[in-house]
Structure 1
Amino acid sequence: MLVVFGLTTGEFVVAGILPDVAGGLGVSVPAAGLLVTAYAAGMIVGGPVVTVLTARSSRRTLVVGLVGVAVAANAWSAVAPNYASLLAGRFVAGLVVATFFAVGITTAVGMAPEGGQARAVARLTVGMNLGMVLGTPLGTLVGHAVGWRASFGAVAVLVLVALPLVARAVPGGGSALDGVSAVAGLRAFADRGVLAAIAMTVLGNVGVVMVFSFIAPLMTDVAGFSSGAVPVLLLVYGAGAVLGNFAGAWLADRALMPSVAGLLAVLAGVLGAGWFAGGSRVAAGVLVFVLGALAFAVIPGLQTRVVSSARTAPMLAVAVNASGFQVAAAFAGWLGGRVIDAGGGARGLYPVAAALTAAGLLLAVGVLVNDRRSSGRAPVVEAEALEQV
C-alpha cells in the first residue's frame, strides 16, 4: 500500500507542478504536459512487456527489483539536467508500475484467507486513493515551497522507505508467474473469460474516469463553484473513494459478480442523474462524494475477477488489465474533449459517461448469466475430469 501510495503520488503530482517544471527547464507548459503522457506510456508498455520478461524471476526478487527501479527513476527525475532526460525518467518510472501492481495484487490475494481476497485487494488499492487525494496535494505543496525537483525526490524517499518492508513481507521462492512460462501465460488471453474480465474493467471505468478528468469545469462551469472550491471537492471525492473501496471489497467477497453488476448499474444511474442535478451546488457536492465511492467500490471486484479468471497466469492478466485501464484513461480524456468541443459543454459528459458505464453493465450481466449456467454444469465437468484421471 505504501509503495502504491508513492507511485500514485509520482504519477499525479506532475499536474500540480507543471508550470514550475516548464519554467525550470525552459519549455512550454504543453511540452511539460508530455511528462504525464510519458509516464502513462510507460505503464501501457510495461504492463505486458516487463511482466513477460521477468516471468522466471522469484516474486521477492521481482518486487525488490521493481521498487528499486521506481526509486532510481524518481531520484533521476529529481536531478535530471534537461527536458529529454526528465522525459526518459518519467517513462522508466511508469514502466514498472503495472507489473508491481499485478504482483502486489496476486500476492495479496494468494496470502488472503478464503472469502477475504477482495478485502486484500482493497487494502492495497487504498494506496491509490490516498495518493490521489493526499499525496498529490502534499507533493504539490513541497514542489511550490522547495522546488519541483523536491517533489520527485520525496517520492523516491517514500518508496525507498517501503522497500525493506516489501522485501520482508513478500514470500520468497517460486517464479512470478508461478512456474508458468511466458508463452503459456500469454495463452490465457485466448480465454474469453479473461478477455471479458479485462473488458469489464475498461468499460466499467472509462465513463467515471472521463467525468473525473473534467471535474474542474463540471464543478465551476456547471455547478457554479469557485475555482478555489475544487481542491475541497477533490478531497470529498477522495473520502468517498476510500469508503467505497472497502465497502465494495466487502460486497465482492460475499457475491463477486452480482456486486460488480449491481455497482455498475447504480454508477450508470448516478452518472445519468448528473445531467439533471449537476447544476445545483448541493446536488453536485453530493454527486462528487457518491461518484468517488462508486468508482472505487467496483475496483476490488473487477480486479478479483481478473485474478480468478486467469488461473494459469493471474499476474500477467492483472498487469495487462492495469495497462488497459491506462488506455481507458487516455481515451476518456480524448473523448471528453470531443464531447465538450461538439457543443454539449461539460454537462454533456454525464450522459455519455452513463452510456459507457451501461455498456460495462451489459457485459457484467452477460458474465454473471454465463457463470450461473456454468455452475450448473460443474458436476458433469468434474466427473469427466475424474474419468480422464
Structure 2
Amino acid sequence: MPFAIYILGLAVFAQGTSEFMLSGLVPNIAADLNVSIPAAGALTSAFAAGMIVGAPLMAVLSMRWPRRRALLVFLVAFMLVHVAGALTASFSVLLVTRVLGALANAGFLAVGLATAAGMAPPNAKGRATSILLGGITLACVAGVPAGAALGQTFGWRSAFWAVALISLPAVFAVLRSVPDLAPATGGPRAGRELRALRGPRLLVVLALAALVNAATFCTFTYLTPLVTNVSGFSPGWVPAVLALFGLGSFAGVTIGGRLSDTRPTLVLIAGGIALLAGWALFAATAGSPVATLLLVFVQGTLSFAVGSTLIAQVLYAATQAPSLGGSFATAALNVGAAAGPVIGGATIAAGLGYHSPLWVSAVLVAAAFATAGLAEAVRRHAVVAAR
C-alpha cells in the first residue's frame, strides 16, 4: 500500500477521536452547560447530521480542487472549529461547532476514501478502506480513552484542545506525503456520478451500512452511563472500557480488511448473525461487570468487521462514481450515527433505563437482515419475471 494512505489514516485518527470522544464526555458536558444527558448526547447526532449533509456536498464542491488542496482545506477547518468549541460557554455554539466540524470531517473522509481507493491496487479497495477506518478505531483505542481521562482530570474542554493539537502534525504530513492529484473536471461529471449511484445493489448496501452503524452508535454514545449505572463500574473505569471497545473495533477493521476483498459474504452473514446475538446477550447481561467487559470487546469487533466490509462493498459497487462513492459511504455511516443516539436517547428519556439502547441495537441489526432479505426477494422476483 502507498505510504500516503497511512498518512490519511493518521488524519482520520484525529477526526475519529473527535467524533467518538463525546461518549466519555457526555456527563461532564451536560453538567457544565446545564443540559440533560440525552441533550448532550444530541451533540453526537449533530456531528453525524453534519457528516450526512457534508459528505456529498463537500465532495461535489471540491471536485474542481486538486485532492491534496481539498484535504488540507478540510483538515485546517476541522482544527479551527475545535478551538472554537473549546472556548465557548454556550451549548448552542458548541452544537454549531460540532456541525461545522462534521462538514469538514465529511469532506476530508469523502476525498480521502476516493484518494485511497484511487491509489490502491484494483482488487485491494477493502484493504485501503480498512487503513483509513483503522485511524478511527485507533482513535477508539487511544484517542477516546485519553479524551475521557483528560475530561475527568482537566475538564471536557481539554479534550477539544487536544484534538486541535493532534490535527496540526497531520496537516504537515498530508502536505508532504499526499500526491497533488489533478482535480476532477466540472459539473457534468458530478451528474454522471450521481446517476451511477442509483443502482439497486448500491442503495441496499448503503441502507445496510446505515442500520449497522446506527446499532453501534446507539449503544456506544451511552456507554459511559451504561457501565457506571447498570454494570456497576466506577467512573475511573470508563477510559479502560472505552479502550476495550476501541481494541475490539481495531480488531474488527483488521479482520474486515483481510476478508472484505475475498470473502465478504462470510463476514456479512456470519458476522451479522453474531452481532445480532451479541447485542441481545449484552442487553440481558448488562448488570454483570464480567459480561460487560467481554461483550464491549466482542461487539466492537463485530460491529466494525461488518461495517468496514459494507463500506468496501460500497466502493466496489460505485466504480462509476470514484469521487462521490466515498461520500455516499460516509453519509450512510453517519445516517446511522445520527439516528442511533436519537433512538437510544428516546428510550432513556422514556424511562426504559440505560440498558435500553442495547435492545434497540439488536432491533436495528435485525432490521438490516430484514432489509437484505427483502432486497434479495425483490431481485429474484425480477429475474423470474424477466424470463
TM-score tier by shorter-chain length is 0.7 to 0.9
Q: How far 1:84 moved relative to its partner?
A: 5.9
In structure 2, the partner of 1:40 is: 48
The SS at the match of 2:261 is helix
Q: How far 1:252 moved relative to its partner?
A: 1.0
> Sequence identity, in percent?
35
Using the alignment, how far apart are the partners of 1:231 and 1:17 within structure 2?
10
In structure 2, the partner of 1:357 is: 365
CA contact (8 A) 2:145 2:242 kept: no
CA gap 1:177/1:314 in 2 versus in 1, 3 angstroms: farther
Using the alignment, how far apart are the partners of 2:40 and 2:289 within structure 1?
33
- Give, as a single letter, the amino acid of the residue that structure 2 aligns with 1:171: P
The SS at the match of 2:172 is helix
CA gap 1:373/1:350 in 2 versus in 1, 3 angstroms: same
The SS at the match of 2:180 is coil
Q: How far 1:337 moved relative to its partner?
A: 3.4
In structure 2, the partner of 1:385 is: none
**In the alignment, structure 1 residue 266 sits paired with structure 2 residue 274:** yes
Using the alignment, how far apart are the partners of 1:368 and 1:172 within structure 2?
42
In structure 2, the partner of 1:293 is: 301
- The gaps in structure 1 that reach 5 residues or longer are 375-389
Using the alignment, how far apart are the partners of 1:85 and 1:281 within structure 2?
37
In structure 2, the partner of 1:238 is: 246
Q: How far 1:263 moved relative to its partner?
A: 1.3
CA gap 1:100/1:372 in 2 versus in 1, 3 angstroms: farther
**In the alignment, structure 1 residue 110 sits paired with structure 2 residue 113:** no
In structure 2, the partner of 1:257 is: 265
Using the alignment, how far apart are the partners of 2:163 and 2:77 within structure 1?
13
Give the number of aligned pairs.
373
Report matched runs for 1:1-389 at 5 Å. 1-14=9-22, 16=24, 27-30=33-36, 36=44, 38-79=46-87, 86-142=94-150, 149-175=157-183, 181-340=189-348, 344-364=352-372
- The gaps in structure 2 that reach 5 residues or longer are 1-8, 383-387
In structure 2, the partner of 1:384 is: none
- Give, as a single letter, the amino acid of the residue that structure 1 aligns with 2:299: L
Q: Which deviates the most, 270-279 or 155-164? A: 270-279
Using the alignment, how far apart are the partners of 2:175 and 2:377 within structure 1?
41
- Give, as a single letter, the amino acid of the residue that structure 1 aligns with 2:121: P
Q: How far 1:95 moved relative to its partner?
A: 0.8
Using the alignment, how far apart are the partners of 2:273 and 2:23 within structure 1?
32
CA contact (8 A) 1:98 1:319 kept: yes
Using the alignment, how far apart are the partners of 2:16 and 2:65 within structure 1?
25
Q: How far 1:214 moved relative to its partner?
A: 3.1
The two structures have a TM-score, normalised by structure 1, of 0.81
- Give, as a single letter, the amino acid of the residue that structure 1 aligns with 2:222: F
The two structures have a TM-score, normalised by structure 2, of 0.82
CA contact (8 A) 2:42 2:342 kept: no
CA contact (8 A) 1:177 1:316 kept: no
Using the alignment, how far apart are the partners of 1:248 and 1:124 within structure 2?
12
**Higher RCO structure (Cα 8 Å, ≥6 apart):** 2
The C-alpha deviation readout for 1:202-236, integer Å capped at 9, x for no partner, is 12222232222333454345444444433322222
